[in-house]
């Protein structure tokens, strides 16, 4: 049969033909698509025109099929990556990196871009067109277009090596996560674990050929409940050590990958005229410089640390009182945090789970989107999918009845899916071959699976994660720009978390919880007193939680601001760097860094601070909603118009001020967190 990756999709809304795709199709398809694109690029280069339509729009059309195939591949590589797909991933990465560099380092293509850029004021361009030509020119420069040929060759070599290294880092984390299994054969060792957790562990054991025992893995829905409820301290220790050492001095060791990534990133930055990788990255961020980031993190650290120390002292006292534990350890935190929450708030996750049936939570989030933005979601069954867990929805604007986009969900863990949760633009909104098309957006999570006797009942954290990823999805779905390079989440990295993090605020409000928090057995609405406890839980141990986020952000900035030659011992560098935020003893033989995929295999290098930066934005923005009502259509309309629809067409601070009428106030975050 003809390669489906080279055909125009025929499914409803041009949906990706996931059901027809096999791993063996990718290399032939990408090779053919690139050959075709190269031929068209030669014609493009021979054309003397340098106007916007030719240089930006027509060039984008040339690479469209390559982008399409790459998009399918990388979506599958994260969400559904069997062994045969993983085997070809280094070759795919190589091919795509080489092709990308062939364009960004081509002197003729850059000359056309440069001429168009220099004449931008004379072409009667719109604000969006002005933004995209400036962004395109800067992208070429940041990828080495102004360099001498020998330096260009080195940048090309570095990019190809980095593509392989970051992929290897990611694969090691996934393999190490999947490899580990803690088998329990003595029923007494299940003490403290809720019934649903035990049932899930029995089902995992059966699946792994260990029927009659109970098994726990390192994926979050398996590990986190164990760490939270297990009374067996030695087993909690065993589990945390397994998780924290999975890619450190093991067969999946990532230390050499990490060091080489740092060296290459730093060398690349220096070739391009920057002191460090952090300087290079932050040139294109709201924060602008490492100093501004470090000042911001320092301000939060000064506010949060006393509260964090108080939080840890509370946990120490409780551990001593309940179990005569004199030395609190990191593997005790989740367990005694839950016990403290039970004591102080009279609440725990198991009380909430019955009210958070996954299907109800999803229905609730659709209702929230309807109340805020007038969106409706209709499940459809004629759209191809890559796994039976995937559900598909058509999204419409209630007022105009216009199609907004296609929305996919994929909620449960499996061995072929990487850990964590993310949103992905399967197809971004914007212009394709002269026609503006609507987006296809996906959210992928790893939530608690249903068991033989219970549906999927989420924890409060899982509900918050769903709302977070749905916020990203709204950013993609509601995008309303002309050029897809600026659509949806194609914004400054420290702005991209605003639409996602603001959505989490609704979960702590009764008016929102009443839409979906219904007991899965009795049908009763969540009681008002439990809603108050959920709201209070938003500030519970917030000092410690903030310190934990600052640990990651400071570690990221340290790695990307120092001379990489100084990182000779990963564990030692890590320990020294995070000493200011460390309140508990380090577990021997463990490392955060070697499985820190966000910065070594994702897009967050020198950018992890973005989570806290965007929290300032979202706390300030939600205060605006609170003053008018959380479902106020006028405020929501402004948020949609200036934040969700505009993508990267304007500077994010300008967009934020248009929405809010002022710059964000850091005090809003401190007030919300109870850290002021």
Q: Is there a single domain that holds both residue 208 and residue 119?
A: no
Tell whether 417 is covered by a domain.
yes
The answer to whether 557 and 289 are in contact (CB under 8 A) is no
* Closest residue by Cα to residue 652 from 622, 610, 624: 610
Tell whether 308 is covered by a domain.
no
Token pair, residue 617, equals 């934005």
Q: Is there a single domain that holds both residue 190 and residue 99?
A: no
Token pair, residue 393, equals 């929805």
- Residue at token pair 């986020």: 549
Q: What is the CATH number of the domain that holds 34?
A: 1.20.1050
Q: Is there a single domain that holds both residue 185 and residue 38?
A: no
Model confidence pLDDT, tens digit, residues 405-440: 999 999 999 989 988 899 999 999 999 999 999 999
For 323-342, what is the HEC assignment? HCCCCCCHHHHHHHHHHHHH
Going along 429-576, which residue ranges are E strands? 430-432, 435-437, 440-444
Give the pLDDT confidence score for residue 676 in this predicted structure: 76
Q: Is there a single domain that holds both residue 367 and residue 478?
A: yes
Cα separation of 428 and 439, whole Å?
5
Cα separation of 376 and 378, whole Å?
7
Cα separation of 317 and 163, whole Å?
48
Tell whether 59 is covered by a domain.
yes
Last residue of a domain, one of 244, 265, 300: 244
Q: What is the CATH number of the domain that holds 388?
A: 1.10.1370.40
Give the pLDDT confidence score for residue 538 in this predicted structure: 86
The answer to whether 426 and 390 are in contact (CB under 8 A) is no
Last residue of a domain, one of 244, 259, 286: 244
Distance of CA 213 to the CA centre of its chain: 34
Report the alpha-carbon angle 520-190-584, nearest 5.
100
The answer to whether 178 and 281 are in contact (CB under 8 A) is no
Express as a percent the part of the chain with pLDDT over 90.
Answer: 94
Handedness of CA 577, 581, 584, 590 (dihedral sign): negative
Distance of CA 666 to the CA centre of its chain: 23
Give the pLDDT confidence score for residue 478 in this predicted structure: 98
Q: Is there a single domain that holds both residue 505 and residue 399?
A: yes
Q: Is there a single domain that holds both residue 204 and residue 127?
A: no
On the 0-12 / 13-18 / 19+ scale of CB atoms within 10 A, 251 is exposed
Token pair, residue 356, equals 């958070």
Token pair, residue 472, equals 């990203």
Tell whether 164 is covered by a domain.
no
Give the pLDDT confidence score for residue 149 in this predicted structure: 95
Q: Is there a single domain that holds both residue 133 and residue 199?
A: no
Residue-wise burial string across 88-121, b where 16 or more C-beta atoms lie within 10 A, e elsewhere: bbeebbebbbebbbebbbbeebbebbbebbeeee
Instruction: Choose the catalytic residue: 428, 469, 615, 645.
Output: 469
Q: Is there a single domain that holds both residue 12 and residue 117?
A: yes
Model confidence, pTM: 0.90
Q: Is there a single domain that holds both residue 128 and residue 67?
A: yes
Measured distance between the N- and C-terminal CA atoms of the chain, rounded to whole angstroms: 64
Instruction: Give SS3 for 120.
Output: helix
Model confidence pLDDT, tens digit, residues 227-273: 999 999 999 999 999 999 999 999 999 999 999 999 999 999 999 99
Bridge-partner residues for 184, per DSSP? 214
Radius of gyration of the chain (CA): 25
Tell whether 459 is covered by a domain.
yes
Token pair, residue 470, equals 């749905």
The answer to whether 428 and 392 are in contact (CB under 8 A) is no
Say how many domains are in the chain. Answer: 3
Model confidence pLDDT, tens digit, residues 464-498: 999 999 999 999 999 999 999 999 999 998 899 99
Residue-by-residue DSSP string for 186-253? -GGGGTT--HHHHHHHHHHHHHTT-TTSEEE-SSHHHHHHHHHH---HHHHHHHHHHHHTTTSSSTT-
* Closest residue by Cα to residue 370 from 512, 502, 466: 512
The answer to whether 495 and 652 are in contact (CB under 8 A) is yes
Tell whether 250 is covered by a domain.
no
Determine whether 151 is an active site residue.
Answer: no
318 CB neighbour count, 10 Å cutoff: 20
Cα separation of 566 and 266, whole Å?
12
Q: Is there a single domain that holds both residue 478 and residue 534?
A: yes
313 CB neighbour count, 10 Å cutoff: 12
Residue-by-residue DSSP string for 588-626? TT--SGGG-HHHHTSS-TTTTTHHHHHHHHHHHHHHHHH
Bridge-partner residues for 396, per DSSP? 376, 403
Cα separation of 240 and 218, whole Å?
9
Query: What residues of the chain score a pLDDT lower than 70?
Result: 1
Last residue of a domain, one of 244, 266, 296: 244
- List Cβ neighbours of 281 (8 Å cut-off, separation of 6 or more): 560, 605, 606, 607
Q: Is there a single domain that holds both residue 117 and residue 186?
A: no
Give the pLDDT confidence score for residue 573 in this predicted structure: 98
Tell whether 237 is covered by a domain.
yes
Q: Is there a single domain that holds both residue 231 and residue 95?
A: no
Tell whether 455 is covered by a domain.
yes
Q: Which domain holds residue 197?
A: 180-244
Token pair, residue 312, equals 């840890």
Instruction: Give SS3 for 526.
Output: coil
């Amino acid at each position: 049969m003809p390669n489906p990756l080279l055909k125009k999709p025929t499914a409803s809304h041009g949906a990706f033909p996931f059901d027809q795709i096999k791993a063996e199709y990718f290399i032939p398809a990408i090779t053919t698509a690139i050959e075709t694109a190269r031929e068209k690029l030669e014609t493009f280069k021979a054309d003397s025109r340098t106007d916007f339509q030719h240089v930006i729009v027509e060039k984008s059309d040339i690479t469209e099929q390559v982008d399409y195939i790459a998009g399918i591949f990388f979506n599958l590589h994260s969400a559904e990556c069997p062994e045969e797909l993983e085997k070809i991933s280094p070759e795919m990465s190589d091919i795509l990196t080489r092709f990308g560099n062939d364009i960004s380092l081509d002197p003729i293509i850059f000359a056309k871009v440069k001429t168009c850029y220099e004449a931008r004021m004379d072409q009667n361009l719109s604000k969006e067109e002005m933004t995209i030509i400036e962004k395109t020119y800067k992208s070429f420069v940041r990828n080495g277009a102004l360099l001498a040929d020998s330096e260009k060759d080195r940048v090309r070599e570095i990019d190809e090596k980095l593509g392989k290294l970051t992929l290897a880092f990611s694969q090691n984390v996934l393999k190490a996560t999947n490899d580990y299994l803690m088998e329990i054969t003595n029923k007494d060792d299940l003490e403290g674990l809720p019934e649903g957790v035990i049932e899930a562990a029995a089902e995992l054991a059966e699946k792994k050929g260990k029927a009659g025992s109970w098994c726990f893995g390192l994926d979050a829905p398996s590990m986190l409940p164990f760490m939270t409820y297990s009374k067996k301290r030695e087993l909690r220790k065993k589990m945390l050590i397994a998780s924290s050492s999975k890619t450190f001095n093991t067969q999946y060791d990532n230390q050499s990958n990490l060091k080489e990534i740092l060296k290459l990133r730093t060398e690349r930055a220096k070739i391009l005229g920057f002191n460090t990788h952090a300087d290079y990255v932050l040139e294109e961020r709201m924060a602008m410089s490492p100093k501004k980031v470090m000042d911001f993190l320092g301000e939060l650290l000064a506010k949060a640390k006393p509260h964090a120390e108080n939080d840890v002292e509370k946990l120490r006292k409780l551990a001593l009182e309940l179990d005569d534990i004199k030395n609190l350890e990191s593997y005790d935190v989740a367990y005694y945090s839950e016990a403290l929450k039970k004591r102080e708030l009279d609440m725990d996750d198991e009380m909430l789970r019955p009210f958070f049936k996954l299907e109800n939570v999803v229905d609730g989030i659709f209702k929230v989107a309807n109340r805020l933005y007038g969106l409706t979601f209709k499940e459809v069954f004629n759209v191809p999918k890559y796994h039976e867990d995937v559900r598909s929805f058509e999204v419409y604007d209630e007022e105009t009845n216009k199609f907004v986009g296609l929305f996919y969900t994929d909620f449960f863990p499996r061995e072929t899916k990487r850990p964590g949760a993310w949103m992905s633009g399967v197809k971004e909104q914007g212009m394709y071959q002269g026609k503006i098309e609507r987006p296809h957006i996906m959210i992928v999570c790893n939530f608690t699976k249903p068991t033989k006797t219970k549906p999927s009942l989420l924890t409060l954290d899982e509900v918050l994660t769903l709302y977070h990823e749905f916020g990203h999805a709204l950013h993609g779905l509601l995008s309303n720009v002309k050029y897809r390079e600026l659509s949806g989440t194609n914004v400054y990295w420290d702005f991209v978390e605003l639409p996602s993090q603001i959505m989490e605020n609704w979960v702590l409000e009764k008016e929102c919880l009443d839409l979906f928090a219904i007991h899965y057995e009795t049908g009763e609405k969540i009681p008002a007193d439990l809603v108050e406890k959920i709201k209070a839980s938003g500030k519970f141990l917030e000092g410690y939680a903030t310190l934990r986020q600052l640990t990651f952000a400071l570690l990221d900035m340290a790695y990307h601001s120092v001379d990489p030659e100084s990182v000779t011992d990963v564990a030692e560098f890590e320990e020294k760097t995070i000493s200011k935020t460390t309140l508990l003893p380090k577990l021997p033989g463990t490392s955060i860094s070697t499985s820190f995929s966000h910065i070594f295999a994702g897009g967050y290098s020198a950018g992890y601070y973005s989570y806290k930066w965007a929290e300032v934005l979202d706390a300030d923005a939600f205060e605006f909603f609170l003053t008018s009502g959380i479902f106020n259509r006028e405020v929501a309309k402004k948020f949609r118009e200036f934040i969700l629809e505009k993508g990267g067409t304007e500077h994010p601070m300008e967009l934020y001020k248009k929405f809010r009428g002022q710059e964000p106030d850091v005090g809003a975050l401190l007030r919300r967190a109870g850290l002021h």
